[in-house]
Amino acid sequence: MTTDEVFIEVFNNLSAYGMSVRRKTLQVIRGLQNNPQILVIPQTHQTFQSGLDLYQNRPDKDYSLTDCISMQTMRQMNINEILTHDKHFTQEGFFILFQNIELH
């Protein structure tokens, strides 16, 4: 499971790396969107507001709005494990599946 907002964050983070990276990113995201084994939760006003509520309620954290939307979506779907290196998710009680893996 992923969300449209996560895809937006990926595009935003990679947009400045040139045309070939932009093309490859688009190819990967389109592949994920078309994969029947991956559920992509669409961006809605409700998902935005839910994430915004968490963002507002955690002024002491450096969570991105995308992280807040993801956390709220995961809660609504009773998901407690995530593929990320973002330690913010542990602060909200989620289990990071990559936490013992070092990337080189």
- What local confidence, expressed as pLDDT, does residue 98 receive? 74
| 31: containing domain | 2-79
Residue 63, in any domain of the structure: yes
Number of domains in the chain: 1
Q: How far is CA 35 from the centre of its chain?
A: 17
Residue 73, in any domain of the structure: yes
Report the relative pairing of strands 95-96 and 40-41 from DSSP bridges: unpaired
Which residues make beta-bridge pairs with 95?
Answer: 81
Residue 61, in any domain of the structure: yes
Residue with more model confidence, 100 or 40: 40
The pTM for the full model equals 0.86
The tens digit of pLDDT for each residue in 28-65 reads 999 999 999 999 999 999 999 999 999 999 999 999 99
Residue 52, in any domain of the structure: yes
Tell me how far apart the alpha carbons of residues 82 and 10 are, in angstroms, rounded to a whole number: 16
In this model, does residue 104 exceed pLDDT 60? no
The tens digit of pLDDT for each residue in 62-92 reads 999 999 999 999 999 999 999 988 889 999 9
